[in-house]
Amino acid sequence: MQAVIDKVVNLFKWPVALWLFFSLPAYIQSLDFFRFADLRYWALFGGFFLFFIARSFMDSSAKTSMEVLAHEMTHAFFALITLHKVKGLTINPDDSGGNMSFEGEGNWLIIIAPYFFPLFGLLTMIGISIYTMFAPMNLILNCLMGFVIGYHVDTVGSQIHEKQTDLPKVGYYFCAVFLLPANLWMIGSMLAFNSKGWQGVITYQHLINHLNGRNFNYILNFLGF
């Protein structure tokens, strides 16, 4: 079964990348969706900057260890959701990297996942969803969302470099097309969650699709079709 899933996932590698790249204008246009003057976003921005303040006081080895652990956990997460059995997860003693082993051939999503997918952000969103089943959303949780967005931005930025061994496996051209819009998509989704929870995320995806359709029509009209 995992081999079939890998073939299907690999089949959609470039179509997904091209679709996200085509969506770049929509991600910029969608900024009007977020009411940044709202207190919830002020709290989020506060959490975002709080992360970088905390980062400046953090021991460099502890920061690196956390990044490596999150990196390998994200590999493992995508291995599991594509039905691969994870056999092991190790971190080098000198924090120079780590390794996640699994059964089967694998796919591009497993390889590239840590460079765009905010695993800690997803876990935070799930935790907030559980909390808000019993209590209302508050500014502290908005601040927490900003903190994990800051962590995501910092971690992705520090991991994308020429010595990274994962990137050549999927191809540098693919990374150039895929990574920026994929990260904007993830960050936009977290911003949407900050204001209206999972319903906000769904609404945001509908908005992106609507903007893509409108932009496609603009292109067709411009070309005279």
- Distances, alpha carbon 71 to alpha carbons 35, 60, 123, 137, 157, in Å: 32, 16, 14, 29, 13
The DSSP annotation for 116-177 comes to: T--HHHHHHHHHHHHHTTTS---HHHHHHHHHHHHHHHHHHHHH-STT-SSHHHH-HHHHHH
User: How confident is the prediction along the chain (225 residues), in pLDDT tens digits per residue?
Assistant: 778 999 999 999 999 999 999 999 999 999 988 888 899 999 999 999 999 999 888 877 667 778 888 899 999 999 999 999 988 877 776 656 677 888 888 899 999 999 999 999 999 999 999 999 999 999 999 999 999 999 999 999 988 887 788 999 999 999 999 999 999 999 999 999 998 999 999 999 999 999 999 999 998 888 877
CA proximity to 115, closest of 174, 58, 188, 57 = 174
pLDDT of 90: 78
Amino acid found at 29: Q
Q: 90 - beta bridge partners?
A: 99
CA proximity to 208, closest of 187, 178, 179 = 187
Q: Where are the alpha helices (DSSP H) in the chain?
A: 2-11, 13-22, 24-29, 39-57, 60-81, 108-112, 119-131, 139-159, 167-170, 172-222
Q: What is the pTM of this model?
A: 0.92
User: Would you give the distance in Å from CA 83 to the centre of its chain?
Assistant: 20
Residue spans of the domains in the chain: they are 2-217
Structure tokens at 111: 């390889």
